[in-house]
Amino acid sequence: MHGYSVLSGTGLLFRDPPANWWSPHVDPRVWAVCAPRAVRKYSAGEAVHTGVLALMYLILFCASAVSLFDVTFFALLGDQLGTGLAVGHRAAARDERRRPGGGIRNI
C-alpha cells in the first residue's frame, strides 16, 4: 500500500507534460480527440500476411528471452556472492509477518 501512495504522489507531480513537448500550434487535447482512427480491423489471416504480426511475435520472443536471462543471471550472481540465502530468508520472514498467525498455510 505504501508503494501505491508513493506512485500516486509522484504521478500528481507529472500531470502536465514537459515544456516544448508538443508543437506550439497543436493542442494535445484537441489532437487526442480528433486524431485519425484506424482505417479498419484486420482478421487473423490478414494480419499474418502483413508481416507486422511476425515482427510483434519476434519482439515478444526477444523480451521473454531477456527476462529469462535476467532471472537466471541474478540467481547465479546471488549464489556466487552468497546473497541468495539471505534474500530467501528475508522473503520468508516478510511473508510470515504478513500472514495472521504466521507459519505456513495449510492449503
Give the gyration radius of the chain's Cα atoms: 24
Domain definitions of the chain by residue range: 2-98
Which residues 6+ apart lie within 8 Å of 28 measured at CB? 17, 21, 22
What is d(CA 42, CA 26) in angstroms, rounded to the nearest whole number? 31
On the question of pLDDT at 1 being above 70, the answer is: no
Listed as own residue / partner, the contacts of 46-52 with beta carbons closer than 8 Å and 24 or more positions apart are: none
What is the average pLDDT across 61-85? 85
**pTM, to two decimals:** 0.44
